[in-house]
């Protein structure tokens, strides 16, 4: 490569940007592969029982063998996550709007919302089962109490960080509080809100699985519990793998949404 | 805080004429038990260009906010064409420009320029607003950047949009609080020159708060010097240099003389004058 005469200056730059792109992924991929190989080797060398730690090959086999069941369960869990996530975002936004728009109500509501954050919400799962039964409702409820808070908090932070002199400008021409809310505060809060939404997407996955643990007849959480009682650890890991894939998928969906909703956000406009 | 006792201190009241667009009489402002402004008399003739200059903490920004109706004077009164500032602002008579352009990052230049007008006058259609925004952008020399978002504009261009946004209201008076304070020296000079041209084309009355001696003399017809502790008008200076002025005015011997004079005044304004 070095013996080539430098005629086209754009080529080295292309090459370096390509290596930068792969360079950011490559170390993680290599580490993952090495871990899988070491894992497989360790299980075989030390003859670890498959119901304690299954080898990656066993997990893959289980994944293929139970593909139909797993896909059905994934679909159920994905539905819970999506529905619960959307409800969390809507409720989270509504609470934030009420807090900002109605000062008195906000001062009453905000401390209670923060206080509620200290309740270990996972512990609410059995109560939700008691109240709402074994269907979709308790999962949505659990996702909601776990995931609405980052949405509310991030949107509040965004709405309250509007520059004072901008508010002075609005006030000077007689803008109403509602106009300031919807023309300035809400759009101003969108970059923050989208960051909160990404956290909510991740928490929604946790909420759905916990909800299924507490009581369900379907879904990946149910598969994990059922398989562990059967000592089918390979199936537990296969279901876990799918949960992780779901989590990553929802996270990136939220990230794509962010690019669509706030293309003008500072993080996108600097480059 | 008893203002009467402090007010007795001898600040000479400025002569108040009848053709003044803005007149402030005996304005004192107390914020959090601190006397920020003491007994300010200020008159701004219609169509004039007046600068307020003074050291940090002299309350010149507060004075501008009082004129804009954003801060209520503890004592004294302000009238803008016979109206209280808040009333005048509601009637779109006041255009405000701050140091930060404060553009909405989700709107392009033309929509930013017409944003306040849209709030002030709900009867205007979207296309009316666009047309007005475009007209104002052309006035400030940004006619071909209408569809750019704020992050695609330089600091100076953003400030031009902020000026266009204020002018879109067609206000009688433009109140500017260190509008070029965050810009580099070269941009600052050209912005000042543009502001002069806008002033002469539109005939607006302008009150400019500035830190810069050169800027104050280059642009304004009258300069008021504010002193600190408490904030008060210590000196007033008429700038007799003829308009139209351009940057070459800074080489004029009269300009140089005024710079020296104003600098001397500012040096004295740094001394607290609570009990004079």
| pLDDT tens profile B178-235 | 999 888 988 999 999 999 999 999 999 999 999 899 999 999 999 999 888 788 788 8
Asked if the Cβ–Cβ distance from B94 to A175 is below 8 Å, we say: no
A187-196, A219-228, B12-21: which has the minimum mean pLDDT? B12-21
pLDDT digits (tens, 9 = 90+) for A86-140: 999 999 999 999 999 998 888 998 899 889 888 888 888 889 989 988 888 999 9
Which chain B residues have a beta carbon less than 8 Å from that of A174?
A: 89-90, 119-120
Domain B3-93+171-269: homologous superfamily in CATH: P-loop containing nucleotide triphosphate hydrolases (3.40.50.300)
pLDDT at residue B16 tops 90: no
Same domain, A212 and A257: yes
| Radius of gyration (C-alpha) of chain A in whole angstroms | 24
Q: Structural domain tally of chain A?
A: 2
Task: Give the tens place of pLDDT for each residue, B25-79.
Answer: 999 899 888 888 898 899 999 999 999 998 888 888 999 999 999 999 999 999 9
CA gap A217, A226 in Å, rounded: 10
- Residue A238 and residue A87: Cα distance in Å, rounded? 29
What percentage of chain A has pLDDT greater than the value 90?
64
A6 in a structural domain: no
Nearest by CB to B70, from A166, A172, A266: name it. Answer: A172
Determine the average pLDDT of the residues in A231-237: 93
Average pLDDT over residues B149-154: 91
Which residues in chain B have their CB less than 8 angstroms from residue A172's CB? 68-70, 89, 94, 96
Nearest CA in chain A to B85: A172
Same domain, A100 and A232: yes
Contact (CB<8Å) A168/B119: no
Residue A267 sits at the chain B interface (C-beta within 8 Å):
no
Q: Does A262 touch chain B (CB under 8 A)?
A: yes
> Do both A21 and A107 map to the same domain?
no
| Closest partner CB to B120 (pick from A174, A188, A190) | A174
Beta bridge partners of B209: B52, B177
- For residue A25, give its domain range: 12-48
pLDDT at B14: 45
Among A6-15, B88-97, B108-117, the least confident range: A6-15
Is residue A175 within 8 angstroms of chain B, CB to CB?
yes
Cα dist. A40→A36, A44, A49 in Å? 6, 6, 12
Domain assignment of residue A268, yes or no: no
Chain B residues closer than 8 Å to A267 by CB: none
H/E segment holding residue A24: helix A10-45
Average pLDDT over residues A181-204: 94
Going by the DSSP 8-state scheme, the letter that residue B231 receives in this structure is B
The predicted structure's pLDDT at residue B158: 95
Same domain as A114, residue A41: no
Query: Does residue A92 lie in a domain region?
Result: yes
| Same domain membership, residue A190 and residue A64 | yes
Q: What is the pLDDT of residue A18?
A: 60
Identify whether residues A43 and A135 lie together within a single domain: no
Q: How high is the ipTM of this complex?
A: 0.82
Q: Are residues A28 and A113 in the same domain?
A: no
Q: Does A170 touch chain B (CB under 8 A)?
A: yes
Q: Clarify whether residues A33 and A96 are in a common domain.
A: no
Q: Nearest-CA residue of chain A relative to B97?
A: A169
Tell me: do A82 and A109 sit in the same domain. yes
- pTM for this structure? 0.81
Q: Is there a single domain that holds both residue A84 and residue A125?
A: yes
Interface of B with A (CB under 8 A): 65, 68-70, 89-90, 92, 94, 96, 98, 100, 102, 104-106, 115-116, 119-120, 149, 151, 169
Q: Show me where the domains of chain B are located.
A: 3-93+171-269, 104-169
A42 and A64 co-located in one domain = no
* pLDDT > 50? residue B5: no
Q: Which of B106, B109, B121 to mutate to test the interface with A (most CBs of A within 10 A)?
A: B106
Q: Are residues A40 and A166 in the same domain?
A: no
**In this complex, do A169 and B96 lie within 8 Å of one another by their Cβ atoms?**
yes
Residue A263: band (very low, low, confident or very high) from pLDDT cuts 50, 70, 90: confident
- Asked whether residue A270 is domain-assigned, the answer is no
Residue B232: beta bridge partners?
A: B227
Residues 6+ apart with CB under 8 A from B136: B113, B114, B164, B165, B167, B168
Paired residues of B49 in beta bridges? B206
Residues of B in contact with A262 (CB under 8 A): 106
Give me the numbers of helices (H) and strands (E) for chain B, helices first please: 10, 9
The span from the CA of B265 to the CA of B272, in Å, is 13
CA of A183, closest CA in chain B: separation in Å? 9
């Amino acid at each position: 490569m070095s013996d080539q005469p430098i005629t086209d200056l754009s080529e080295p730059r292309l090459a370096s940007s390509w290596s930068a792109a792969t360079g950011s992924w490559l170390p993680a991929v290599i580490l993952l592969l090495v871990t899988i190989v070491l894992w497989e080797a360790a299980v075989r060398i030390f003859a670890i029982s498959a119901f304690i730690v299954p080898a990656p090959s066993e997990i893959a086999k289980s994944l293929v063998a139970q593909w139909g069941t797993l896909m059905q369960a994934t679909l159920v869990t994905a539905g819970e996550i999506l529905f619960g996530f959307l409800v969390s975002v809507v409720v989270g936004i509504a609470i934030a709007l009420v807090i900002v728009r109605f000062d008195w109500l906000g001062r009453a509501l905000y401390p209670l919302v923060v206080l509620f954050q200290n309740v270990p919400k996972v512990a609410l799962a059995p109560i939700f089962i008691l109240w709402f039964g074994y269907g979709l409702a308790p999962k949505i409820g659990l996702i909601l109490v776990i995931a609405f808070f980052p949405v509310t908090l991030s949107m509040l932070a965004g709405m309250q960080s509007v520059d004072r002199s901008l508010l002075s400008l609005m006030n000077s021409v007689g803008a109403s509080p509602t106009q300031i809310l919807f023309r300035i505060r809400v759009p101003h809060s969108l970059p923050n809100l989208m960051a909160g939404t990404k956290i909510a997407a991740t928490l929604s996955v946790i909420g759905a699985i916990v909800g299924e643990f507490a009581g369900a007849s379907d879904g990946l959480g149910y598969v994990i519990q059922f398989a562990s009682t059967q000592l089918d650890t390979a199936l537990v890991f296969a279901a876990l793998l799918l949960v992780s894939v779901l989590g990553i998928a929802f996270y990136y969906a939220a990230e794509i949404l962010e690019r669509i909703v706030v293309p003008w956000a500072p993080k996108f406009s600097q480059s | 805080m008893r203002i009467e006792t402090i007010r007795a201190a001898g600040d000479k009241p400025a002569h108040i004429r009848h053709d003044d667009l803005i007149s402030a009489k005996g304005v004192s402002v107390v914020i959090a038990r601190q006397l920020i402004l003491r007994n300010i008399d200020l008159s701004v003739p219609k169509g004039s260009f007046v600068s307020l200059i003074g050291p940090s903490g002299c309350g010149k920004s507060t004075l501008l906010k009082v004129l804009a109706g954003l801060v209520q004077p503890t004592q004294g009164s302000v009238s803008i064409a016979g109206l209280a500032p808040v009333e005048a602002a509601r009637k779109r008579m006041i255009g405000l420009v701050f140091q930060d352009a404060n553009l909405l990052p989700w709107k392009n230049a033309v929509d930013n320029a017409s944003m306040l007008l849209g709030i002030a006058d709900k009867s205007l259609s979207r296309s009316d607003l666009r047309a007005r925004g475009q007209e104002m952008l052309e006035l400030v020399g940004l006619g071909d950047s209408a569809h750019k978002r704020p992050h695609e504009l330089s600091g100076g261009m953003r400030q031009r949009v902020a000026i266009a946004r204020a002018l879109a209201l067609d206000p009688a008076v433009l109140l500017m609080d260190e509008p070029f304070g965050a810009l580099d020296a070269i941009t600052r000079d050209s912005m000042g020159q543009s502001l002069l041209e806008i002033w002469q084309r539109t005939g607006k009355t302008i009150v400019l708060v500035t830190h810069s001696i050169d800027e104050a003399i280059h642009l304004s017809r009258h300069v008021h010097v504010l002193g600190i502790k408490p904030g008060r008008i210590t000196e007033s200076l008429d700038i007799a240099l003829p308009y139209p002025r351009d940057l070459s005015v800074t080489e004029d011997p009269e300009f140089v003389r005024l710079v020296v004079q104003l600098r001397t005044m500012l040096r004295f304004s740094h001394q607290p004058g609570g009990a004079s």
